[in-house]
Amino acid sequence: MQTAPAASTGDVPTRLRRDPMTKPAPHQPSIVVMGTLALLLAACANPPQRDAPTAPSSAAFKEAPPGWIAAAPADTLEHGPWWSLFDDPVLDGLVPAVAVSNQNIAAAVAAYAQARALVREQRASLFPTASLNASASRAGAGRASPATGSTGNQERLGLSASWEPDLWGRIGGEVSAAGARAQASAADLAAARLSAQGEFVIDYLSLRETDAETALLRTTIEGYQRALQIAGNRYAAGVAPRTDVLQAQTQLANTQADLAGLERQRAQLEHAMAVLSGQAPANFTLPPGRWNSSTMPSMPVGVPSALLQRRPDIAAAERRVAAANTDVGVARTAFFPSLTLSADAGKNATRVADLLTSSATSWSLGIALAETLFDAGARPARVDQARASWEQSVAQYRQTVITAFQDVEDQLAAARVLEQQQALRRQASEAADLAEQQMLNRYRQGQVGYSDVVTAQIAALSARRTLMQVGVARQSAALSLIQALGGGWTATQDAAPLP
């Protein structure tokens, strides 16, 4: 049972009780007077206004390619299935499972549910509480002779209620702060989902590039085996030294070892994808497939820096600023007195069976007003603490925005440079392939030694693998840009603007 606070220094309790056997005490203060006083004090309260923080901004990205212009406002943008930009049906079927089964996302979902429950708990404080109570006691008075002693039973069944009006906005502020933190938790959930899906897509692209490299090495090994046979035939015919055979064997063995390393790398990527999709590695298998190396998400001309407004981490940081600001107002309400209204009604009897028929009914109404007169600076210290926490959240919010701009600039620069590198690597690979073939033909004709062939083969294989690695690096950079912009750049509706 919640009751009015006990009288102490600074308390002004007032209770009206009526019992059939007693009369009201004279000269009791009126509840109306106390309520009027409380309302006058409430009119003097001035809750702090929220000051929205400003964040560093940029009209355009420095590393953006020519032609980028401001596009639609942020509130017309949504994330959507951004992974479909890679045009891979297998990937399209795998990614949605990450949002359902990933355990980090499941933990974020539970944290969001906890934050929403806290909002409901805080909101319940705005309403009165009622409780049913029952008690029983037995008492006696001792005398010289036990036979002449007296004992008696006392039972009580009552209903009580109490309510603390939110005169200064403390409870409302706590509800608002809890709501802001719930919104931050929702943004954390979106960030966890975007991170898990992005990591899964990167692992998938890397695995497919590994499949392509594996196929390349197997084809190369077949060529090296034929070269070894040629070197062996020339050695058997006495037209080539044994070192040619040894060099061919070394080249073949090294390439086979590289192939084994790729198989290990593929297994690790597959295991990582299993964990991201919420499965044990033994239960997840992805057969080798084709890598869409030519599929590269193209960035549209109209992508503005305002897309950063959709980033979940920025939204979460801004919501935490709002919650911290509200906490300052809640801390200030401690300077105002607390008011509690209470009511109690019940019946007394000497037997439990008489509780429902007894006429010994008692009731009470009460109002208590309490104000702290001295706390050695505890309340100002709590206000300063809340204000410092708000300043910290503002700094963290601004740092999050600055870091977001850096992420986008980094990926824009990477996309631009990698596109140039891919064109140059392609030229180098084509030239190395031609040099390898010509060197092998000249060896067959006895014009060059086998060491020249080995050198050409090493250069050609390295150029082919480097070209593939640049291709997957471009795709990874595009994916990182998608994540840096909050999940794609499709224009519809689903973005919360920055203040």
Report yes or no: 140 and 152 within 8 Å, Cβ to Cβ: yes
Domain map of the chain by residue range? 50-125+171-338+377-484
Fold of 50-125+171-338+377-484: Outer membrane efflux proteins (OEP) (1.20.1600)
Q: Give the pLDDT confidence score for residue 213 in this predicted structure.
A: 95
What residues pair up with 153 in beta bridges, in sequence order?
138
Q: Give the pLDDT confidence score for residue 41 in this predicted structure.
A: 47
**Two tokens, residue 52:** 């929205």
- Provide CB contacts within 8 A for 97, sequence distance 6+: 277, 278
Q: Give the pLDDT confidence score for residue 485 in this predicted structure.
A: 84
| Torsion angle, alpha carbons of 282, 287, 290, 292, to 10 | -30
Helix (H) or strand (E) holding 246: helix 242-276
Task: Decide: pTM greater than 0.85.
Answer: no
pLDDT tens track, the chain, 499 positions: 333 333 333 333 333 333 333 344 444 445 444 444 444 444 444 445 555 566 565 555 555 444 433 333 333 345 678 888 888 999 999 999 998 888 889 999 999 999 999 899 888 888 888 998 888 887 776 655 555 556 777 777 888 888 888 888 888 888 999 999 998 999 899 899 999 999 999 999 999 999 999 999 999 999 999 989 988 998 998 888 999 999 999 999 999 999 999 999 999 999 999 999 999 999 999 999 999 888 887 765 555 666 777 788 888 998 999 999 999 999 999 998 888 888 888 777 776 666 666 566 788 888 888 888 888 999 999 999 999 999 999 999 999 988 988 998 898 899 899 999 999 999 999 999 999 999 989 988 888 888 898 999 999 999 999 999 999 999 999 999 888 888 866 543 333 333 3
CA distance 381 to 392: 16
DSSP for 325-361, please give it: HHHHHHHHGGGSPEEEEEEEEEEEESSGGGTTT---E
What residues pair up with 364 in beta bridges, in sequence order?
17, 344
